[in-house]
């Protein structure tokens, strides 16, 4: 076999597991910032302690990440990277399709799938590897992930509206008839300050890993494979997860300093995932059954004005306490949100976003904090890159976002990018590829 | 426009308040209180401000301000730190307006502001007599009363200037309406945290394009701004202008029956600076006219008025903060002053990124200090 293995299988669980290495990389990561909870995981065993006495320690101990170096299963009924326990780092990229040739597009998706399968295992992107036998050849893999373990990498692909219908309604690849009705550019929402150049896209790749370099490596190599077929339209790095997608995970804090994702839909939610996350047979075109829709929103925070807001006001805006993350008027983070409670303001974020305020709509959020340097005004260009998976955006994100029109938090955020993609179901073995049922 | 702090904190708006010492128009106002010490004549021109007296006994006094100049002027009585003891706005050339103000013993300054801008032309005013010694509670009560009076005089001027603006729109006078647009908004922007309390009215008056819920019409100043600057046609703008007039009248009535708590005052002062940081320095607010610096100046003045109303209480509790506030207000005012242009300001799109960053830094420095005020008042 000519596949080059980046790191010996099982390295993650043996004594040679380089936790220090992971820690070092994380520290030197995209923004050099580590969430407190992340440190606890990276240093190993004291996760429950990191939760603090009286905190949700019992929920953060056992499952969750498991081994940070280990590989995630690539095959499955659903794509990995959705209900997979949210990894610490993100690189998300949206692409424009630049070819007119359906076969080329199909071939690229096959190549992408194969490369993603290898990289997910901790192997090189291309079969030739990072160090080719013939030194006169450029390496098949860009090399920055050599010696790094799989790091929990997941690569998730999505198809944008533009892949089905081009400008003027053109049927670009003979796929127009298969476009799901729900796959439409998101409507304008009050207060949107979107920048078109970092919005929408015909395809997307979400790469998540515990090591930022592994996530970047994945996007870089897939973009390279795609030259001539797709062109990167925009991309976004995220340095810290802002949601838990498994009950085994400690709830992280976003850049407002509040725990985020306490009430998220999680992998253990059982039938609620079928109801709210996975596209069901009969929902639309059959090729998407078992898939999901992802909505991305780059939400910039007006950090400086938030930071000089009093604690009581911050807590009123969110509807939770800052220390514990408990709904106002209760004591513990996971206490249920009582929408009749007068302690939670009419326009508090958790009230308006709650499923019970949205006809039961629940999203699986998978967002990441970002800091993209500073703005031209010398302010931190930072916020939350919001990602949410749902069975139908019309009853999911769109409904919830409309309800957030009067959210007190709006004063401190600006949505600067927006996109939607339909994520096909998972792949089943080496002969399958992303979107096969769509092209068949 | 922003979601309002006062609403979000769930603090009640108080009932009617007693308005001390303010007479808006030419009706003579004051009655018995004004009569006590007789009228103090103030002769204002474009470059002078002659006040009849430099010393007064403690008590209630009425100033009669006559504008002999060619520019609209304002008249203020300030205590230390430019704490507004009373002011009369929008005195048009040729007009005389009265200001009734109650002054305890102490050192004051009067100021005429021809063109309604800057520090104005100052005179010292010494008030003699028994100095009052107020308890902390009394100092705080005084603060809310003083600020209510400030709101009252701003709303009078708001109504007058907005009426002129609406009239210009209805008359199809585009240059006139464009000139009045930032001036009418000044009085609103100075007291925006108060004006914003009243739910639906704020979005209807000051909402920006794209802020509306589905099915809601884009109305108010920014709609008219769009008509004036982008369309260059106000022939269809009459109903919007008339609705604005009605909405403003309603807000004015509500604002004048509302009294802010000391904490609300402090938070309002911070809120105004956040408005500058997020709305004005970015050019979001007046995206068609680029008159953001008028709003900037008004927000800054309004913030200072709210903070200075609290000054006597702050001096008791945290004198170092008062020094820091004075320094930062002076620095921010100086940073803005660089962009003065005639009786107005440069347009937002005339400023470079470096210049905007300098303004942003000055507001950040000031707002960090102002954000400490609420805690000091509450503590």
The DSSP result for A235-273, as a single string, is EEEE-EE---SSTTSPPPB-TTSSB--TT---GGGTHHH
- B371 and A309 within 8 Å at the Cβ level: the answer is yes
- Using the predicted structure, report yes or no on whether residue B48 has a pLDDT greater than 60: yes
DSSP A359: T
- Does A11 contact B at CB distance below 8 Å? no
- pLDDT grade, residue B259 (50/70/90)? confident
The mean per-residue pLDDT over the stretch B277-306 comes to 96
When pLDDT is cut at 50, 70 and 90, the band that residue A328 belongs to is very high
Across the interface, whether the CB atoms of B357 and A377 are under 8 A apart is answered yes
Nearest to A308 among B8, B213, B371 (CB): B371
Chain A nearest-CA distance from B329, in A, is 17
**Inter-chain CB pairs, A–B, below 8 Å:** 69
**pLDDT tens digits, residue range B126-157?**
999 876 677 888 889 999 999 999 999 999 99
- Percent of chain B exceeding pLDDT 70 equals 88
Q: What confidence score (pLDDT) does residue A322 get? A: 97
Dihedral sign (CA B104, B106, B110, B116): negative
B371 contacts in A (CB within 8 Å)? 308-310
CB within 8 Å: A310 and B267: yes
| Pairing of the two strands A380-390 and A292-301 | antiparallel
Place of tokens 């008042």: B377
Q: Span A289-306, mean pLDDT? A: 97
pLDDT over 90 at B119, yes or no: no
The pLDDT assigned to B118 comes to 80
Q: What is the pLDDT of residue A6?
A: 62
Strand partners, B63: B40, B99
Among B5, B211, B282, beta carbon nearest to A313: B5
Give the whole-angstrom CA distance, residue A260 versus residue A91: 20
Helix then strand count (H, E) for chain A reads 12, 10
- How crowded is residue A58: how many other Cβ atoms within 10 Å of its Cβ? 9
From B8, B277, B282, residue closest to A317, measured CB to CB: B8
Q: Which of A391-395, B152-156, B198-202 has the highest mean pLDDT?
A: A391-395
- Residues 114-143, chain B: which have Cβ within 8 Å of A? none
**Rounded Cα distance, B80 and B311, in Å:** 9
Domains of chain B with CATH codes: 36-133 (2.60.40.420), 148-378 (1.20.1420.20)
Cα separation, A127 vs A114, whole angstroms: 10
Burial category of B315 from C-beta neighbours within 10 Å (exposed 0-12, middle 13-18, buried 19 and up): middle
> Which residues from B are below 8 Å from A305, CB to CB?
274, 277-278, 367
Gyration radius of chain A over CA positions: 21
Q: Of B5, B211, B374, which is closest to A190 when you measure between CB atoms?
A: B211
The mean per-residue pLDDT over the stretch A228-239 comes to 97
Identity of the highest mean pLDDT range in A33-37, A190-194, B122-126: B122-126
Mean pLDDT (whole number) for A51-77: 59
Least confident of A33-37, B261-265, B297-301: A33-37
Contact list, A309 vs chain B (CB under 8 Å): 270, 371
Q: What is the pLDDT of residue B5?
A: 38
Q: Give residues 64 to 123 of B whose Cβ lies within 8 Å of A.
A: none
8 Å CB contact between B259 and B14: yes
Angle, CA A136 vertex, CA A131 and CA A140 arms, to 5°? 40
- C-alpha B144/C-alpha A361 separation (Å) is 45
Lowest-confidence segment of A162-171, B35-44, B154-163 by average pLDDT: B35-44
**pLDDT recorded at residue B3:** 40
Confidence of residue A304 (pLDDT cuts 50, 70, 90): very high
Query: Which residues are paired to B57 by β-bridges?
Result: B128
Sign of CA dihedral B94, B96, B97, B103: positive
Among A377, A410, A411, select the one facing B281 at the smallest CB separation: A377
Residue B100 confidence (pLDDT): 86
Work out the mean pLDDT of chain A and round it to a whole number.
Answer: 87
Contact B278 A411 (CB under 8 A): yes
CA-closest candidate to residue A346, choices A359, A328, A330, A362: A328
Tell me what percent of the residues of chain A surpass a pLDDT of 90.
81
Q: How far is the alpha carbon of A343 from chain B, nearest alpha carbon, in Å?
A: 10
State how far the Cα of B356 lies from the Cα of A377, in Å rounded to an integer.
6
A residues 54-113 closer than 8 Å to B (CB)? none
Q: How many CA atoms lie within 13 A of B95 on its CB side?
A: 18
* Structure-token match 């008004």, residue found: B298
Contact A345 B10 (CB under 8 A): yes
Averaged pLDDT for residues A268-283: 95
Q: Is the pLDDT of residue A158 over 50?
A: yes
> What is the model's pLDDT at position B9?
37
Task: Report in angstroms the alpha-carbon separations of A353 from A182, A319, A337, A363.
Answer: 21, 11, 11, 10
CA-atom Rg of chain B in angstroms: 20
> pLDDT at position B7, please?
37
Is residue A11's pLDDT more than 80?
Answer: no
What pLDDT score does A48 carry? Answer: 31
- Chain B residues in contact with A402 by the CB 8 A cut-off are 213-214
Domains of chain A, by residue range, sit at 19-165+172-439
B211 touches chain A (CB under 8 A): yes
The confidence score (pLDDT) of residue A66 equals 58
Nearest to A217, CA basis, from A149, A276, A269: A149
Work out the average pLDDT over B150-166: 95
Q: Are B277 and A304 an interchain contact pair (Cβ–Cβ within 8 Å)? A: yes
A16 inside 8 A of chain B by CB: no
Interface contact B356-A408, CB threshold 8 A = no
User: Is A312 in Cβ contact with B9 (below 8 Å)?
Assistant: yes
In this predicted structure, the answer to whether residue B344 has a pLDDT above a threshold of 90 is yes
């Amino acid at each position: 076999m000519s596949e080059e293995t980046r790191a010996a299988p099982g390295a993650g669980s043996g004594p040679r597991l380089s936790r220090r290495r992971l820690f070092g990389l994380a520290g030197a990561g995209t923004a050099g910032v580590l969430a407190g909870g992340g440190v606890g995981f990276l240093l190993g065993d004291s996760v429950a302690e990191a939760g603090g006495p009286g905190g949700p320690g019992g929920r953060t101990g056992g499952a969750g990440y498991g081994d940070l170096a280990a590989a995630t299963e690539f095959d499955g009924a659903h794509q990995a990277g959705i209900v997979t326990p949210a990894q610490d780092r993100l690189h998300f990229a949206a692409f424009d399709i630049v070819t007119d040739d359906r076969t080329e597009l199909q071939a690229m998706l096959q190549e992408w799938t194969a490369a993603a399968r290898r990289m997910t295992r901790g192997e090189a992107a291309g079969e030739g590897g990072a160090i080719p036998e013939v030194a006169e050849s450029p390496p098949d893999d860009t090399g920055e992930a050599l010696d790094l373990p799989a790091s929990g990498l997941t690569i998730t692909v999505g198809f944008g509206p533009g892949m089905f219908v081009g400008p003027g309604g053109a049927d670009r690849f003979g796929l127009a008839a298969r476009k799901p009705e729900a796959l439409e550019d998101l409507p304008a929402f009050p207060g949107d300050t979107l920048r078109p150049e970092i919005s929408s896209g015909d395809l997307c790749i979400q790469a998540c890993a515990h090591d930022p370099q592994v996530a970047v490596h994945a996007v870089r190599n897939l973009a390279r494979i795609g030259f001539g077929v797709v062109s990167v339209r925009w991309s976004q790095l995220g340095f810290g997860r802002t949601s838990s997608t498994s009950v085994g995970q400690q709830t992280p804090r976003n850049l407002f300093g509040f725990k985020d994702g306490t009430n998220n839909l999680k992998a253990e939610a059982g039938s609620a995932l079928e109801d709210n996350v996975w596209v069901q047979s009969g929902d639309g075109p059959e090729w998407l059954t078992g898939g999901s829709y992802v909505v991305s929103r780059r939400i910039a925070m007006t950090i400086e004005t938030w930071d000089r807001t009093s604690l009581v006001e911050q807590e009123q805006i969110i509807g939770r306490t800052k220390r514990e993350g408990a709904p106002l008027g209760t004591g513990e983070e996971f206490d249920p949100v009582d929408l009749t409670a007068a302690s939670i303001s009419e326009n508090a974020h958790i009230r308006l976003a709650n499923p019970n305020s949205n006809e039961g709509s629940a999203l699986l959020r998978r967002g990441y904090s970002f800091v993209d340097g500073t703005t031209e005004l010398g302010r931190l260009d930072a916020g939350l890159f919001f990602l949410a998976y749902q069975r139908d955006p019309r009853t999911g994100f769109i409904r919830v976002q409309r309800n957030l029109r009067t959210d007190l938090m709006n004063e401190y955020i600006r949505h600067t990018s927006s996109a939607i993609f339909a994520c096909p179901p998972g792949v089943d073995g080496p002969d399958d590829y992303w979107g096969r049922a769509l092209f068949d | 426009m922003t979601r309002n702090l006062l609403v979000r904190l769930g603090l009640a708006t108080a009932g009617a308040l007693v308005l001390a010492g303010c007479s808006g128009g030419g009706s003579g106002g004051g009655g018995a209180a004004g009569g006590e010490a007789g009228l103090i004549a103030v002769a204002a021109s474009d470059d002078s401000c002659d006040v009849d007296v430099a010393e007064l006994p403690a008590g209630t006094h009425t100033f009669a301000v006559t504008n002999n100049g060619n520019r609209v002027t304002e008249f203020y009585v300030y205590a230390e730190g430019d704490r507004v003891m009373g002011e009369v706005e929008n005195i048009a050339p040729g007009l005389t307006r009265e200001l009734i103000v109650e002054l305890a013993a102490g050192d004051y300054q009067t100021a005429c502001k021809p063109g309604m801008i800057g520090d104005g032309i100052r005179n010292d005013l010494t008030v003699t007599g028994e100095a009052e010694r107020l308890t902390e509670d009394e100092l705080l009560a005084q603060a809310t009363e003083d600020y209510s009076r400030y709101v009252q005089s701003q709303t009078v001027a708001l109504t007058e200037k907005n009426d002129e603006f609406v009239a210009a729109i209805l008359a199809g006078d585009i240059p006139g309406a464009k000139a009045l647009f930032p001036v009418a908004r000044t009085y609103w922007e100075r007291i925006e945290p108060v004006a914003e309390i009243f739910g639906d009215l704020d979005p209807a008056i000051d909402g920006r394009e794209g802020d509306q819920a589905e099915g809601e019409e884009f109305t108010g100043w920014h709609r008219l701004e769009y008509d004036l600057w982008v369309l260059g046609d106000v022939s269809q703008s009459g109903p919007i202008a008339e609705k604005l007039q009605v909405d403003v009248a309603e807000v004015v009535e509500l604002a004048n029956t509302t009294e802010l708590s000391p904490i609300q005052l402090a938070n309002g002062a911070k809120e105004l600076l956040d408005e500058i940081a997020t709305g004005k320095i970015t050019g979001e607010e007046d995206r068609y006219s680029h008159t953001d610096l008028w709003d900037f100046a008004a927000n800054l003045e309004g913030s200072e008025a709210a903070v200075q109303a609290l000054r006597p209480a702050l001096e008791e509790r945290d004198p170092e903060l008062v020094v820091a506030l004075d320094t930062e207000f002076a620095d921010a005012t100086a940073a803005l002053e660089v962009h003065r242009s005639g009786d107005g300001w440069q347009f937002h799109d005339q400023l470079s990124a470096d210049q905007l960053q300098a303004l942003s830094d000055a507001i950040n420095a000031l707002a960090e200090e102002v954000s400490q005020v609420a805690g000091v008042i509450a503590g």
